[in-house]
């Protein structure tokens, strides 16, 4: 991800402004600008690395004269003590940028690490682990990139990426006396040929209606494993099937064993545990 998109640079600038990086009285009063140092970014826990380019971009934004070097690639499996990146130059600049750079790196690596655990839990089975749109505002591009670094796959990046008919969409159209089959057919008739139509179902009856109406993808919402197994027998390859709702590490393998194609896990991005990563400032 060496070529960061404009929205990521804007996010970096917003984070630096929030932290008042260029108005830091601690560093300004205590650390003379001529003091040079080397910041070593190191892992303090096991996990998967993600966000190195973003973290180093923070340092360069604070001080373009800083020399930055990634020592490991995103997607690398980390162990405590592993050297991730090196930043050399003004000690004051390194100190001002440190917290924001680590915030990005720790969050993204935490997402990648959690995703990797889910991916390993279903290894050998057909199901893909996918994310959701339950991301921190402004961080979606980075959150979803981190999921990929952990071996997962992306669901819709945004609303424009596809048609996903959920219960509230169906409820909104009931005032026009449209049932689930009619809603799906309406979506199919109006969608571009490049757009897939997915529908959320909560029962086997709705599943049969969605299949008959021609939905491309069917989301099984909050179903038990036994019900999912029955659903897969009914679908019989006629649509892509996604399992969603309340799936965690205790249940994900059993869900995958039903034969579903996709398992969406909102917790990957909405309940992130940051990976423990630090910066050690060294001097010659």
Catalytic residue among 44, 60, 86, 134: 134
Contact 255, 246 (CB under 8 A): no
**Annotation says 196 is catalytic:** no
* 7 has catalytic annotation: no
Active site residue 134: yes
Residues facing residue 198 across a β-bridge: 164, 217
The tokens for 17 are 């402004």
Neighbours of 22 (CB within 10 A): 10
Catalytic residue among 98, 131, 200, 242: 200
Instruction: Considering the candidates 98, 143, 221, 242, report the single residue annotated as catalytic.
Output: 221
Q: 167 catalytic, yes or no?
A: no
CA proximity to 46, closest of 148, 114, 143, 105: 114
Q: Is 229 one of the catalytic residues? A: no
Residues annotated catalytic, as ranges: 99, 134, 166, 200, 221
């Amino acid at each position: 991800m060496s070529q960061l998109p404009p929205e990521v640079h804007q996010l970096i600038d917003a984070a630096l402004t929030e932290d008042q990086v260029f108005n830091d009285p601690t560093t300004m009063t205590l650390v003379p600008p001529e003091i040079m140092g080397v910041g070593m970014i190191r892992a303090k826990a096991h996990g998967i690395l993600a966000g190195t380019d973003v973290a180093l971009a923070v340092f360069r934004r604070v001080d373009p004269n800083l020399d930055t070097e990634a020592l490991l690639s995103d997607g690398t499996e980390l162990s405590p003590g592993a050297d991730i990146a090196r930043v050399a130059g003004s000690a004051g600049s390194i100190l001002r940028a440190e917290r924001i750079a680590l915030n990005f790196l720790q969050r993204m690596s935490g997402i990648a690490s959690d995703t990797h655990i889910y991916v390993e839990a279903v290894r050998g089975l057909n199901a893909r682990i996918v994310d959701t749109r339950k991301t921190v505002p402004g961080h979606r591009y980075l959150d979803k990139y981190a999921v990929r670094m952990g071996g997962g796959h992306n669901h819709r990046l945004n609303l424009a990426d596809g048609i996903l008919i959920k219960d509230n969409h169906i409820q909104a159209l009931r005032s026009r006396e449209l049932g689930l089959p009619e809603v799906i057919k309406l979506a199919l008739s109006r969608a571009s040929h490049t757009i897939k139509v997915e529908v959320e179902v909560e029962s086997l009856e709705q599943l049969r209606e969605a299949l008959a109406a021609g939905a491309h993808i069917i989301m099984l919402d909050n179903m038990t494993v036994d019900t999912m197994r029955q659903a897969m027998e009914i679908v019989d390859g006629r649509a892509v099937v996604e399992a969603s709702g309340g799936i965690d590490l205790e249940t994900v393998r059993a869900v995958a064993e039903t034969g579903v194609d996709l398992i969406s896990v909102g917790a990957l991005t909405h309940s992130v545990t940051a990976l423990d990563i630090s910066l050690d400032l060294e001097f010659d």
